[in-house]
Amino acid sequence: MVSFIEGIIVWIHLLCSSIWVGGSIFIGLVLGPMLNTITKDLHERITLMIKIGQRFNKIAFPSFLILVVTGIYNSREIFVKLDTG
């Protein structure tokens, strides 16, 4: 049963890292250049990027917090296993 719970925690950790890192990469590499093709007005691009960033932050920030908590848990589990042999 312990290995099942550890597996779920690792899965949650990987899911949150995919959301946080993948979303950040998408915004930087895809959305930014795409906004240049949608509109040439700098003010409008900035406004759109702020709105999109605020919406993404509603998902990214909780994902980041869960990522930190599960990362600490996973690290603790690894060090306990190494310590007990």
pLDDT digits (tens, 9 = 90+) for 25-71: 999 999 989 998 998 899 999 999 999 999 999 999 999 999 999 99
Pairwise CA distance, residues 59 & 65, whole Å: 10
Asked if residue 59 belongs to a domain, the reply is yes
Tally of domains in the chain? 1
Asked if residue 27 belongs to a domain, the reply is no
Asked if residue 84 belongs to a domain, the reply is no
Asked if residue 64 belongs to a domain, the reply is yes
Asked if residue 1 belongs to a domain, the reply is yes
3-state secondary structure of 85: coil
pLDDT category, 1, cuts 50, 70, 90? low
Domain that holds residue 4: 1-9+45-78
The length of the chain in residues reads 85
Q: Are 49 and 32 in contact (CB under 8 A)?
A: yes
Q: Look at the pTM and tell me if it is higher than 0.85.
A: no
